[in-house]
Amino acid sequence: MAISQNARFCGEAAPDAEFEHPPGASIARLMRDALAKGGWEVSDIDNWRDGGWSITCCRPGSKLELVIAKMAVGEEWFLQIAPSYVPGLFGWLFSKPASAPPDAIQALAQDAFAALSDNGRFGRFMWCWDGPPDEANSTPAPVPARGSS
């Protein structure tokens, strides 16, 4: 089963009025506001491991985590969308599901992509499922997971 949509993209983050570190708070705010307007129930932005920003995004039957972090080189960014909960061995043995199915991950990825691309400051998107996006395994926009509808 597909677990996460991952993206790399380029663009300059606007300065954030509240947080200078870690970089990307303005991108996280842009995402939060656009996703809320798109019908997602979203949390406030949260400092993610002192290296980026996270937002919890919910719709009925789905709870996801969107994380954005600056990559080490230039103005390149990494974004990941995944269920907030993925069962471990015991959860899997007792058939406990992830907190969001692949179609919910895909829906959030499409909405996140629209927010970033509509902004006009970001480009060179590379999207892929379950791994680091690169030229060989990615698409310029999020696509459904193999085997999902």
pLDDT value of residue 1: 67
Closest CA to 7 of 114, 104, 119, 132: 132
- Cα gap 81→102, rounded to integer Å: 10
- Cα gap 100→80, rounded to integer Å: 14
Helical (H) or strand (E) element with 78: strand 76-83
- Cα gap 126→9, rounded to integer Å: 6
On the question of a cis peptide bond just before residue 22, with omega within 30 degrees of 0, the verdict is yes
Asked if 79 contacts 64 with a C-beta cutoff of 8 angstroms, the reply is no
From first to last of the 149 residues of the chain, give the pLDDT tens digit: 678 999 999 999 988 888 888 999 999 999 999 999 999 999 999 999 889 999 999 999 999 999 999 998 889 999 999 999 887 887 778 878 788 999 999 999 999 999 999 999 999 999 999 999 999 999 999 999 886 65
User: What is the reported pTM?
Assistant: 0.91
pLDDT value of residue 148: 61
Domain 5-129: state its class: alpha beta
Domain ranges of the chain: 5-129
